[in-house]
Amino acid sequence: MIIGLAFVVGAAAIYLPALRRHVKRTAKLVQQTEEQARRELTQALSPTPTGPRVKTKLFWASGTEGPRLAAVTVELPLADDPVLRAKQVLNTLLAGPVDSDLRTLPPDAALLEFYLLPDGTGIADFSEALGTSIPSGIDSEQLAVDSITRTLEANVPQVQRLKILIHGQEVDTLAGHLDLTETFVVNTKPASAPAVKPAKAG
Amino acid sequence: MQIAFLSWGAARRLLALAIPFIACATLSFAERASSSEQPVDASAQGTSASQAAISLPSGQAGMLNVVVLDPAHGGVDYGARGTEGVRESEVVMEFAVQVRRALESQGFQVVQTRLGNEDPTFDERSAVANAQQGAVFVTLHVASTGLPGTARVYVNEDLAVEPDVTRLIPWERAQAPFLSLSRKLGDLVQGQLAQRFKGSPGSEQSAAVRQLRTTAAPAIAVEISSVTVENRNDLDRMAPGVADAIAKGVAAFKPSYVVAGTAGVKP
């Protein structure tokens, strides 16, 4: 009887700490937001292209009194697939320019998913931070959308129009002003495969 | 002055009644009709000329006489917020007082979408304008960005309208027939603002402004920069100039806006 009791206590002493660690890990996972989970899933599915690096135009704020946006050319190993390509250029756009004052999109915003319909409509699903962290105003909201559409226009010609979703949902406005219920014109030219021009070595 | 806040359902019914008139009003301007008897090309807008025979409710028939003034945001929606505690919803209310006074001094009747700290929906604000005849719509905003001390005028981006069997303008596209008029009004107001506020653009800009899309009238958004000013007085000092610019711009636009069913004036 005493031996049995000692065995149970001993087993409990070994098992309970392990059980506690397991419960803690589980609780931590539950705390993880759905958005984080989606982001991780998206990143896991994202390609890691190893192809040639391509000159890619990204549109950030110009910081001058002239045109509000300026193209910055960077070299990226872009995928041929338009959906993967769109994800790559938008994620790079979200990462921001070297000069953070020229950002057009909030640093904590993330692209959750990108879809391309057969009619050329691209659907970009962003995290809630795109709407909550962006400076409110017609000027700033239009600049953000223009930077997205012009970047897609320059690099993913298959995208003719763009619909922006926030966390999978259609919303009325980006941050109180700009209309997100409609699609934005991206490219009026007929879609064709992107001409991949490898960047010069060196 | 009484302000009518309409429910969504009531607003839609009201617009359905008003739409034939709205379509013809646009045609009247587009074709520079010089007489109420002059036939209009109803097929282009999908309505018949006879449908334009709706009497004007008040004011000077056939001419622009009402300005619907919309101080944006309100209630728990503060709009843009500056680090010094400046709230867009409060600043635009104070600007609206001066804009209203300047418009009334030009002989316009002014209807506001809100007089206090309410927050009507976009559609409720549009419904106030869509219930008027011979009105223009001006929504006031303060930006988070832009060169402080400047002001910009926005009109809605192009809106495609698919003709359908009902031949009515969809509520969601109510601004579409008015875009050319909105651009003209926007250019006139922006020109006035540029004279008063150095660094402001010389002409209106296009943006997908949600508030303008459902408004069936020449409609502009005026956005002041910005809530980021260190001293709120810097914004307040702009109010008289903004008010004067809007009033003079709308007055200059008045001869261009001819409502159908009455004698038109060739600009």
What is the ipTM, given to two decimal places? 0.77
Query: Which pLDDT belongs to residue B265?
Result: 36
Query: Which pLDDT belongs to residue B168?
Result: 79
Query: Which pLDDT belongs to residue A48?
Result: 55
What pLDDT, in 10s, does the model give residues A89-144? 999 999 999 899 999 999 999 999 999 999 999 999 999 999 999 999 999 999 99
CB contact under 8 A, A139 and B143: yes
Query: Which pLDDT belongs to residue A75?
Result: 95
* Partners of residue B225 in chain A, C-beta under 8 Å: 139
Query: B209: which strand partners?
Result: A178
Domains of chain B, with CATH numbers?
8-34+42-254 (3.40.630.40)
Closest CA to B139 of B210, B204, B192, B64: B210
Instruction: Compute the nearest-CA separation of B77 from chain A (Å).
Output: 9
Which of B125, B210, B224 is the best mutation test for A, with the most CBs of A within 10 A?
B210
Confidence of residue B160 (pLDDT cuts 50, 70, 90): confident
What pLDDT, in 10s, does the model give residues B174-219? 999 999 999 999 999 999 999 999 999 999 999 999 999 999 999 9
Query: Which pLDDT belongs to residue B37?
Result: 29
Nearest CB to A172: which of B81, B154, B210? B210
Average pLDDT over residues A66-76: 91
Query: Which pLDDT belongs to residue B19?
Result: 46
CA distance between the termini of chain A: 80
- Taking phi over 0 as left and psi of -120 to 50 as alpha, with beta for the rest, B208 belongs to beta
| A107 DSSP 8-state letter | T
Query: Which pLDDT belongs to residue B31?
Result: 31
Is the distance from CB of B134 to CB of B260 less than 8 angstroms?
no
- pLDDT at residue B131 tops 90: yes
CB contact under 8 A, B142 and A137: yes
CB contact under 8 A, A137 and B154: no
- Taking phi over 0 as left and psi of -120 to 50 as alpha, with beta for the rest, B152 belongs to beta
Query: For all residues of chain A together, what is the average pLDDT?
Result: 82
Both structure tokens of B40 = 């209009």
Spatial separation of the C-alpha atoms in residues B259 and B247, rounded to whole Å: 20
Confidence of residue A43 (pLDDT cuts 50, 70, 90): very low
Q: What single letter denotes the amino acid at residue A103?
A: R
Q: What single letter denotes the amino acid at residue B11?
A: A
Is the distance from CB of A197 to CB of A54 less than 8 angstroms?
yes
Instruction: Compute the nearest-CA separation of A135 from chain B (Å).
Output: 6
- Pick the most confident of A10-14, A20-24, A34-38: A10-14
- pLDDT at residue B118 tops 90: yes
Query: Which pLDDT belongs to residue B1?
Result: 38
Which of A139, A146, A147, A148 is the best mutation test for B, with the most CBs of B within 10 A?
A139
> Pick the residue with more confidence: A67 or A165?
A165
What pLDDT, in 10s, does the model give residues B45-63? 333 322 222 233 344 456 7
> Pick the residue with more confidence: A29 or A119?
A119
Spatial separation of the C-alpha atoms in residues B183 and B157, rounded to whole Å: 10
